[in-house]
Structure 1
Amino acid sequence: MTDDTLVCDIKNVLFIRFAFGFRQNFNGSSKIKRLSYLYTIFFSLLFTALTLFSNDLSYHSLSYLILALTEYFVLFTVSFLTKDEYIQRNFKLIYGLDTLPGAKKIFQNLEYFLKVSFVLGLANILFFATMICFRISGLCSIANLLSFFYILLHRLACDLGDYVLIMFIGLLYSRVKLLRNYLVTKSANTAWDRYSVKQFINMYESLANTIHDSAAPVKVTVCFSMYSSSLELSIN
């Protein structure tokens, strides 16, 4: 049994994903939903325009251009079709599993981890971009400013798209840890009876159902993340 309450606050992360063109299922009037729909399309067109006008057509640049567009649009398509609803469904509170003793502390740690890793990931990109500007001043000149801005935008957008994997791994780890703690505590303190076994099976099935519900979009994200990384290495 699930509730609309989320086990931890991920709204800020989802909103920043939306700012980079990843569609969200906003609650509100039909006007707000239409505007959010149009914004994601506008951002994808802007990204495409920056890609086309910020690269020369040498072989290396053309290869990078194709890879960059493909990487972003795979992540964009997953988000556009699902509206990131599978993320919120997975983070909804599951009674029985997410209400076990110690769950509050575990999910507080998860929320802290997600926020810190998110901020550090963005800070890492901005830091290296700044260092590149200092080391290669010509890259950040007015003439190359559009290309540099595009590379920065591309990396931020794609990292935000891939960040879903960190969210799911963190959530899965937290729930498995809850189950493990429950199993160890229950085994040490009380004898297992029919009700205890049934309760544990129900919690395990609830966990398995959350994994199954998000299997398709997560698999696409994982597979393409591995593919794009290997392809980028081969291009370089």
Structure 2
Amino acid sequence: MMIDSLVSSLQYIMFLRFIFGFRLDCNSSPQMRLFTKLYPVLFFIVLNFAVWSSENVLNPTLRYSTVIEYCAQFFVSFLAKQEFVNKNYQFIYGIDSLPGAHKNFKRLRVFIKFFCLYYILLRLLAILQLVVYVGPLLKNVTADIIYFHVCDIGRLNIFLVFCILFCRVKTFEMNFQTITDVVVLDKYSVKKYINMYQTLIDYVESMDMLFKLMVIFFIRYNDRFR
């Protein structure tokens, strides 16, 4: 059973994704909702135009595969908005109310904030290194560099889903191991843990197609560099 609240705030990482052209789920004014729809589309058009109009100094296969991945990320994000991630982060009665769950989710919130800060600083450092070492050739690869960074941002959905899945499995494992070490489980306790496990499986399977699509492109990305 799920209730309509999130176990961890996603506003920081979702705003970071929005800056790089991925649609943000907005419940504000009509003007703001329109802006959150138009901005990703304009970003998508401008970035693709910049990439295809620039001189290709990279491996064509690398560029084409990145373009395909980004297009898939964009359309999934635009059509599904944040629902793919939000559904994973909705409170699940039973698992998310187990002892230790709140502590794990608190750690996850802190981790997400630090990850956003780390990612921004890392990208700024990478850009600075390119300016220093690439110099005159930078104008030929600027669009491609932005494209690669945007693809990295697009993969954060998978990162977020695996983070929350890890927290829940870890919480479930800790509680199950603790109680089995202390007492012999009765029928009620066994049934309770089986139901919680089934709930966890059901919520993963409910997003089976979207999840497979995102993972396929993530694997394809890793294959490019082998």
TM-score scaled by length of structure 1:
0.86
Structure 1 Cα separation of the partners of residues 96 and 21 of structure 2:
31
Q: Match for residue 93 of structure 1?
A: 91
- SS of equivalent to 1:165: helix
- 1:49-68 map, 5 Å: 49-56=49-56, 60=58, 62-68=60-66
Report if aligned partners of 1:6, 1:91 keep a CA contact under 8 Å in 2. Answer: yes
Q: Match for residue 185 of structure 2?
A: 192
Structure 1 Cα separation of the partners of residues 124 and 94 of structure 2:
42
Report if aligned partners of 1:5, 1:92 keep a CA contact under 8 Å in 2. Answer: yes
Report if aligned partners of 2:3, 2:91 keep a CA contact under 8 Å in 1. Answer: yes
Classify 1:114/1:214 alpha carbon distance in 2 versus 1 (closer, same or farther; 3 Å): farther
Displacement of 1:67 in angstroms is: 2.8
Which amino acid letter does the alignment assign opposite residue 176 of structure 2? L
- SS of equivalent to 1:93: strand
Structure 2 Cα separation of the partners of residues 3 and 189 of structure 1:
31
Q: Match for residue 202 of structure 1?
A: 195
- SS of equivalent to 1:96: coil
Displacement of 1:96 in angstroms is: 1.2
Structure 1 Cα separation of the partners of residues 187 and 222 of structure 2:
49
Structure 2 Cα separation of the partners of residues 62 and 182 of structure 1:
51
Structure 2 Cα separation of the partners of residues 51 and 162 of structure 1:
20
Structure 2 Cα separation of the partners of residues 103 and 233 of structure 1:
37
Q: Match for residue 129 of structure 1?
A: 127
Instruction: Please state if 1:40 is matched with 2:32.
Output: no
Structure 1 Cα separation of the partners of residues 79 and 29 of structure 2:
20
Report if aligned partners of 2:21, 2:40 keep a CA contact under 8 Å in 1. Answer: yes
- SS of equivalent to 1:223: helix
CA RMSD of aligned residues (A): 2.1
Q: Match for residue 118 of structure 1?
A: 116
Q: Which runs of 5+ in 2 are unaligned?
A: none
